[in-house]
Structure 1
Amino acid sequence: MEKIFKLKENNTNVKKEIVAGVITFLTMAYIIAVNPDILSNTGMDKGALVTATCLSAGLATLLMGAYANLPFALASGMGINAFFAFSVVLGLGITWEQALTAVFIEGIIFIILSLTKLREIVVNKIPLTLKYAVTSGVGLFISFVGFVNSGIVVKNDATLVSMGNLKSPVVIISVIGIITIVILHKANVKGSLLWGIVLSTIIAWGYAYFNPEMAKAYNIMLPQGIIKYESIAPVAFKLDFSFIYNMNTLWNFVIIIFTFLFVDFFNTLGTLVGVASKAGMLDKDGNIKDAGKALLTDAISTTFGAVLGVSAVTVYVESSTGVAEGGRTGLTAVTTGILFLIAMFFAPLFVAIPASATAPALIIVGFFMMDNIGKIDFTDFAEGIPAFLTIILMPLTYSIGDALTFGILSYVIINLGLTILGKKENKVSGVMICLALIFLLKIVVS
């Protein structure tokens, strides 16, 4: 253990690392229920998605621990999975097989960028202001999805959105879950997100037991067993490359790939920066220590995750809970990865967890991701306006990619403009200018 993970060098021990790994798993185990719930909106098999989610998370986290020796856990990214389901498949009308292919190709591109260290350079050249804004914006987006899934926010033709029926069973179940998570978290109970989902699920299943017809109308049903391995065959190895035979679909597909590229890139960026900062792994310039190995692991995980049948796999902000418990090496990640592999044999339980029970976790995770917003200097318009646009447009446009476009373009235009006028020292890097030009090209050709 000492030779592989360098425990003494990182001022830790085996017991501390294993406990940290268990806590990390408890705080992010909700993804086993939430990810299939979101991706199944595309028509993908929910049972197969449970297995694919566990398998991809387990293997990716094991890789992070064994190769990068970092205490970061990975799974299908929150925000990215919503973008995959709602913006790409349902919004653009392409098949989920083609969307997985886009994720696969995007992962290959990321591997190349990571091997050439170009991705690491780009990560370190993004201003800290936008790094914090990305994290906060994704948080708002995830919370918005949670409020919709809970029935608290509903569609309204007159006002676009409005308050739902607060007396409906799904809203009551979700509210109980939110209150439970808040109380448990405040009481320092580990895995508060998971326990909130568990309590809400038990209440929902109780409702289904005593009133099955009404419960079915709210998409609440009892589990059909406890221990069962669901085959990943319905979603694994389903990549569809047929787009290459049609120039029109080829061009549209290229746009989708690069949209995924940008969304995944900045989602990973925001989360990695957030977790690294909590772990004390940022240097005085805000650069991430050992970013190269972490980013390469992330890229490889995204690629094989798409093959297994899930949206982009990325570092999880919940890794910070294990870090807070003293986890400092890859042994923490290895422990978490093993627990994910064990969890995939309990598919019937996870499949039967209703959206109203997972919605509280989405809402609270969004809240957690907002903690860096206070580090943004909103009194400086050159920094604050781009950050504000990035944050607010993610939920309002229901698109992380569109929000990033506005954020980066506004940052470059405002700061270059002030530099030209002699009002501010130039802080815009060549990397940022190149990103702005790429985003501008994307707007022109789309």
Structure 2
Amino acid sequence: MQQTTTHPEGRSPAAAPDPQNQHFLDRWFGVTRRGSTLRTELLAGVATFLAGMYIIVVNPAVLSAAGIPFTSALSATVLISFLSSLAMGLYARNPILVAPGMGMNALFTYTLVLGAGLSWEVALGCVFWSGVMFAVLAMFNVREAVIDAIPASLRYAITCGIGLFITFIGLQNAGFIVGSNATLVSLGTIDAQLTTFFIGLVATAIFVIQRFNGALIMGIALTTLLAAPMGHLWGDEVVVAWSGLAAWPDFGAVMQVDILGALKVAYLPFIFVMLFTNFFDALSCFMALSESAGDSLKDKNGNPRNLKRSMTVDAFASMIAAPLGTSAAQTFIESGAGVAQGGRTGLVAVVIALLFLPFLFLSPLLSLVPSIATAPALVMVGLFMMAPISKIDWTHFDQAFPAFLAIILMPLTYSITLGIAFGFMTFVLIKTLTGRISEIKPAMWITAALCVVMLATT
């Protein structure tokens, strides 16, 4: 029986119009064929952009801690978001935002650069090679074999662990959590900065709860406004300083990637972790978005529509992010905001791409945003990333224990790589020592061996 398509606004679609009378955008993207309208697609693009535009400010803030100048990182963030989202719309024809991802930028800054001591140029080289490997996996369509090798519990755990790690970074940036000789960590001094952060955090949570489009960017803007009087009317330190409205883009980080310097055996675990994280984040995102849209984002086999093309776009976005001067780009689950608005075609992604471009020239304005203003967004992103924790089977301890270690060790060791490494090694050890060695796939053996090499060389 042929399934009747329901229009996202609740109307049944009219008979297919004469192609000669259709707008060229409608014909090119198949808007009417997907049960949508040009107006719906445009509004969906705006909704997704508002949901994900926080990355324009947050990503440079994270990368600047690694030594990449804020303005250079901002230009790279905008440029890769424009190019990769445009490719997603024109080539993969899917309504998905692609931009530098949270988690990947934390891995880049806090594990590779600040943790392992790599220069940011070499760390960009690791990003490049992980993108090359991702592209190979995408082109040869081996996703099923890779998915089958890594247990679902560890995939979910890695997302949750990265979420906790990002939250910890946000709380630390705000001064909410500080170091302590007695207890390692402690609550910071309750002063003007901490009070401003907490008000901004609660306000951002309310924006999210009320489902406002652009909730995170609204929280960043509000917290910046609240922080503006600091150092002038109260507090000792000026945290918001005007430096202008617009300027030419800063491409100082373009082509600073050290591709050859990243080709060391000791860096292979870092490259693999970035590959693994990006690959599964992309796949999980495509699957979740296709499920949320019913059958309109699925192919005839029930799989995410144009999955191979979408994965290829994601892979090449990761690869070209490094020469542009930023951490790997990836699909954004915030794309669900546009899908919920009825967006079904690549026109949504094209609209998103075009909305990024003006921000190339607004680096002085965006540099106003202090770390305490981006901190609430980091905390909320951590909350979003904790969602898969309910999918872990906590009743089977051979699955739960490695997953628990991966989750808890990421924030406690201040390293995404170490959390993943101990999770993988523990999984292999437990399966081996409990007589379940047949449940370990070849890729898991290789991964565990790489983890051992990494720990032995650090």
Secondary structure of the structure 2 residue equivalent to 1:223: coil
Query: Aligned pair count?
Result: 428
The Cα of 1:267 is off from its aligned counterpart by 4.0
In 1, Cα distance between the equivalents of 2:256 and 2:451?
30
Match of 2:206 among 158, 183, 188: 183
Aligned to 2:236: 214
Shift of residue 72 of structure 1? 2.0
Asked if the contact 2:62/2:109 (under 8 Å) is kept, the reply is yes
Is residue 266–residue 457 contact of structure 2 (8 Å, CA) maintained in 1? no
Contact 1:128 1:286 in 2 (8 A): no
- TM, length-normalised to structure 2: 0.85
- Output one character per residue of 1:182-213: Cα deviation in whole Å (capped at 9) or x when no partner: 112222211111101010011112335546x8
What amino acid sits opposite 1:116 in the alignment? F
1:118 aligned residue? 142
Deviates more, 1:68-77 or 1:408-417: 408-417
Kindly name which structure, 1 or 2, has the bigger radius of gyration based on alpha carbons. 2
Instruction: Give runs of ≥4 in structure 1 deviating > 6 Å.
Output: none
Q: CA deviation at 1:441?
A: 4.0
Point out where structure 2 has 5 or more consecutive residues left out of the alignment.
Answer: 1-24, 292-296
Farther off after superposition, 322-331 or 170-179:
322-331
State the alpha-carbon separation in 1 of the partners of residues 451 and 441 from structure 2: 16
For 1:344, which of 360, 376, 382 is the aligned residue? 360
Match of 1:65 among 89, 111, 114: 89
Question: Paired residue for 1:159, among 183, 187, 191?
Answer: 183
Instruction: Identify the match of residue 243 of structure 2 among 218, 224, 239.
Output: 224
Q: Is the 8 A contact 2:282 2:311 kept in 1?
A: no
Q: What is the distance in 2 between the residues matched to 1:275 and 1:355?
A: 31
CA distance in 1, matches of 2:236, 2:368: 16
- 1:410 is displaced (CA, Å) by 2.5
Is the 1:10–1:329 Cα contact (8 Å) retained in structure 2? yes
The residue that corresponds to 1:13 in the other structure is 37
**How far apart, CA to CA, are the structure 2 residues paired with 1:172 and 1:229?**
35
Partner of 1:436: 448
SS in 2 for 1:214: coil
Q: Equivalences for 1:379-390 in 2 at 5 Å?
A: 379-390=395-406
Quote the Cα distance in structure 2 between the aligned partners of 1:25 and 1:121.
34
1:82 equivalent in structure 2: 106
Q: Distance in 2 between matches of 1:170 and 1:25?
A: 29
Q: Are the equivalent residues in 2 in contact too, given 1:143–1:362 (CA < 8 A)?
A: yes
1:271: how far off? Answer: 5.3
Deviations 1:314-341, CA, capped at 9 Å, x for gaps: 1122222222222232222221111111
Residue 427 and residue 5 in structure 1: after superposition, are their counterparts in 2 closer, same or farther (change >3 A)? Answer: farther
1:28 pairs with 35, 43, 52, which one?
52
Please tell me whether the aligned partners of residues 135 and 267 of structure 1 are also in contact (alpha carbons under 8 angstroms). no
Task: Look up the equivalent residue of 2:255 and give its one-letter code.
Answer: F
- Return the alpha-carbon distance in structure 2 between the equivalents of residues 120 and 301 of structure 1: 21
Q: Name the SS of the counterpart of 1:162 in structure 2.
A: strand
Q: Encode CA deviations 1:145-173: one digit per residue, 9 max, x unaligned.
A: 1010111111112222111112x222122
Distance (Å, rounded) in 2 between the aligned partners of 1:282 and 1:124: 21
Tell me the secondary structure at the aligned position of residue 353 of structure 1: coil
Which amino acid counterpart does residue 311 of structure 2 have in structure 1?
L
Distance, in Å, in 2 between the alignment partners of 1:141 and 1:286 is 34
Measured in 2, the distance between the counterparts of 1:9 and 1:428 equals 45
Greater alpha carbon shift after TM alignment, 58-67 vs 6-15: 6-15
**Match for residue 196 of structure 1 among 198, 214, 219:** 219
Structure 1 residues 437 and 372, CA gap change in structure 2 (3 angstroms)? same
Distance (whole Å) between structure 1 residues aligned to residue 333 and residue 81 of structure 2: 14
Q: 2: distance between equivalents of 1:366 and 1:240?
A: 31
Q: Verify: 1:256 aligned to 2:267, yes or no.
A: yes
Tell me if the contact between 2:269 and 2:450 (Cα under 8 Å) persists in the aligned partners: no
CA pair 414-7 structure 1, distance change in 2 beyond 3 A? farther
Distance 1:209 1:26, change over 3 A: farther
Q: The residue matched to 1:92 in structure 2 has which SS?
A: coil
Q: Deviations over 1:75-129 (max 9, x none)?
A: 1121221221222222233321222222222222322232222356314543332
Contact 2:111 2:417 in 1 (8 A): no
In structure 2, what residue type is equivalent to 1:51? Answer: S
Change (3 A) 1:11 1:93: same
**Separation (CA, whole Å) in 2 of partners of 1:242 and 1:270:** 27
- Post-superposition shift, 1:364? 0.6
- Which residue in the other structure is 2:77 paired with? 53
Give the structure 1 partner of residue 392 of structure 2. 376
* Structure 1 residues 271 and 149: CA distance shift in structure 2, 3 A: farther
**Equivalent position amino acid for 1:270 in 2:** D
Q: Is the 8 A contact 1:106 1:257 kept in 2?
A: no
Which digits, 9 at most, give the CA deviation of each residue in 1:264-302, with x for residues without a partner?
42244135414532431799x997664422222122111
SS in 2 for 1:314: strand
**Paired letter, 1:439:** C
Higher helix share: 1
In structure 2, the partner of 1:294 is 310
- Is contact 2:110–2:415 with CA below 8 Å preserved after alignment? no
- Quickly say closer, same or farther: Cα 1:315–1:144, change in 2 above 3 A: same
CA contact (8 A) 2:60 2:77 kept: yes
Which among 401, 420, 424 is matched to residue 404 of structure 1?
A: 420
Call closer, same or farther: CA 1:277–1:128 in 2, change over 3 Å: farther
Contact in 1 for aligned 2:224/2:240 (Cα 8 Å): no
**Aligned residue number for residue 247 of structure 1:** none
Which whole-Å CA distance do the structure 2 matches of 1:363 and 1:349 have between them? Answer: 23
Amino acid at match of 2:172: V
